[in-house]
Structure 1
Amino acid sequence: MYRGFSTEKATMEDKVRSLIDNLRGQCLKRGVGGIRELSVVFRRMDVDFSKRLCYQEFEEGVKAYELIMTNEDIDLLFNTFDTNKNRQIDFLELVAKLRPPMCQARKNVVNQSFDRLDANQNGILELEDLKIVYSSNARKHPKYMSGEWTEEQVLRNFLDSIDTPGNPDGKVTREEFLNYYAGVSATVDDDSYFDLMMRACYGLPNKGEKTK
C-alpha cells in the first residue's frame, strides 16, 4: 500500500515537472524575455495587486499568453502551486519555477554582476547606480556617440531592457536580473563562454584575478 502510494506520487511529480519543462520551452521560443513577458500577463490578471491568482485569473493568463495547455494541465499546475489549498497561487513562485535552471557557477557570476552594478548596495539597480559604475559603457553606445541619446537615456534604456517588460519602473531587483539572465543563459551552451561574456560585459575580473 505504501509503495503504491509512493509510485503514484512520483508519477504525478514527473508529470508536473514535464509540464513545467514544456511551458518553459514555449516561453523561451519567444526569446530570452519570454518568461518575463509571461509574468507581465499574470500581473495584468492580478487585478487586486495581491500577487496571487485565483483559478480564473490563472486560466485567463495562460490563454492570454497563448500557451498550449489542456484544461487538465491547467488544473494540475494550479493545484500543484496551491500549496495551502485556498484556491490561490503565488504567481511569482510560479514564474520562478519556470525560469530556466542555471548551474551554481552561472548564478554566481550573475550575482557578482548585479553586485558590481548595485553601487549603493540596497539590492535594487537604479539610474543613480548606473551613473556611478556604468557611465563609461553608456558613452560607447552608438546612439550616444551619434548625439541621438543622452547618457541618461542610454542608461534608462539599459534598465528597461532588464526590467519587467511592459511595466518598467526604473528599478531592477536581483530577482528580475536573475530572471533576465536565466533567459540569456538558456541560449548559451558553454559555461565558460557564459562566464566570460558576463565578466566582459560588467567589468568583472577574470577567474583567478583579484579585484582592484
Structure 2
Amino acid sequence: MHHLDEYTKEGDLKNLAQRELANGRIKDPMDKLRLQCFSHGAAGIVGLARAFRVMDNDGSQTLSLEEFKKGIINIGLDIDNDDIEDIFQRFDIDGNGTINMNEFLVQLRPPMNASRLDSMIKAFKKLDKNDDGLITITDLKKAYSVGNNPKYRSGELSESDLLITFVKNFEAGAPNPDGLISKDDFINYYATISASIDNDAYFDLVMRRAYNL
C-alpha cells in the first residue's frame, strides 16, 4: 500500500541517493552533488540555498569559488575539492571568478514539468496572502495538513511533532532563522519531493492533500 504523503517518499529518495553514492558509479560532479543533497532529504537543496544567501552580503546573487566551497562544506555535503572546482568552472562562463547563485540552484534541483511547478506555485500563493513572495513559518503551520502522514494516523507522532520536523526543512543552513520562507525555498523543497514521485497525478494529489488546494 502506498502512503499518500511526502515523508515516506522523501525517505525512499534519501535511501536511493545513499545507495547510488555508495556504489561509486556516479561520475559527473553535478550528479554527485545533487545526490548528496538528496541524501540529506528535502532539506538538502534548501539548506544549500540558504547557506549561499547568508554569504551573499551585498545582495549581488553571485558567489566566488571560496564562498561556493564554504557553502557546500558548511552544510556537510561530502564533495571533494576537484569536483567542487569542476562544477564552479561550468557556471563561471565568462571566467570572471564568480557564478550566479540562482542559475546554479535552478540547475541543481531536479527537472520538473510545468504541471508540477504549477502545483507548487498554487500552494505557495495560497499561503502568500499579501503577495510579497514570502510566507512565514506561522502561515506554513496554519495551512499545512499532516492528516495523511502514517505516523500521525497511527498516533506515533503528534501534529505538533510533525509540524516542527517539517518547518526545520526550511530553516536548514540558516544560523539565525528569520521565520520567513521565500518562493524559491518552497520550490527547492518540493522539487526534491517531486523527484521522489514518478507519477504527475500522484504528485498533484500530494500537494492538494497537503494544502487543501
TM superposition score normalised by structure 1: 0.66
Q: Pick from 161, 165, 168: which aligns with 2:172?
A: 165
Partner AA of 1:112 in structure 2: K
**Structure 2, gaps ≥5 residues long:** 1-26, 153-157
- Structure 1's 54 and 134: CA in aligned 2 closer, same or farther, altered over 3 A? closer
Question: Would the aligned equivalents of 1:162 and 1:176 in 2 still touch at CA under 8 Å?
Answer: no
**Structure 1, gaps ≥5 residues long:** 1-16, 144-148, 205-212
* Residue 189 of structure 1 pairs with residue 198 of structure 2: yes
- Structure 1's 158 and 177: CA in aligned 2 closer, same or farther, altered over 3 A? farther
- What SS class does the counterpart of residue 179 from structure 2 fall into? coil
Give me the whole-angstrom Cα distance separating, in 2, the residues matched to 1:36 and 1:67. Answer: 16
**1:134-145 superposed matches below 5 A:** 134=143
Give me the whole-angstrom Cα distance separating, in 2, the residues matched to 1:28 and 1:124. Answer: 24
Q: What count of residue pairs does the alignment treat as equivalent?
A: 177
- Structure 1's 158 and 120: CA in aligned 2 closer, same or farther, altered over 3 A? farther
- The alignment yields a C-alpha RMSD, in angstroms, of 3.6
Give me the identity figure in percent.
34
* Residue 116 of structure 1 pairs with residue 126 of structure 2: yes
Give me the whole-angstrom Cα distance separating, in 1, the residues matched to 2:53 and 2:132. Answer: 25
- Structure 1's 201 and 80: CA in aligned 2 closer, same or farther, altered over 3 A? same
Partner AA of 2:170 in structure 1: D
Give me the whole-angstrom Cα distance separating, in 2, the residues matched to 1:160 and 1:36. Answer: 12
Partner AA of 1:22 in structure 2: K
**TM-superposed deviation, 1:192:** 1.2
**TM-superposed deviation, 1:124:** 1.5
- What SS class does the counterpart of residue 163 from structure 1 fall into? helix
Higher Cα radius of gyration: 1
Give me the whole-angstrom Cα distance separating, in 1, the residues matched to 2:168 and 2:67. Answer: 27
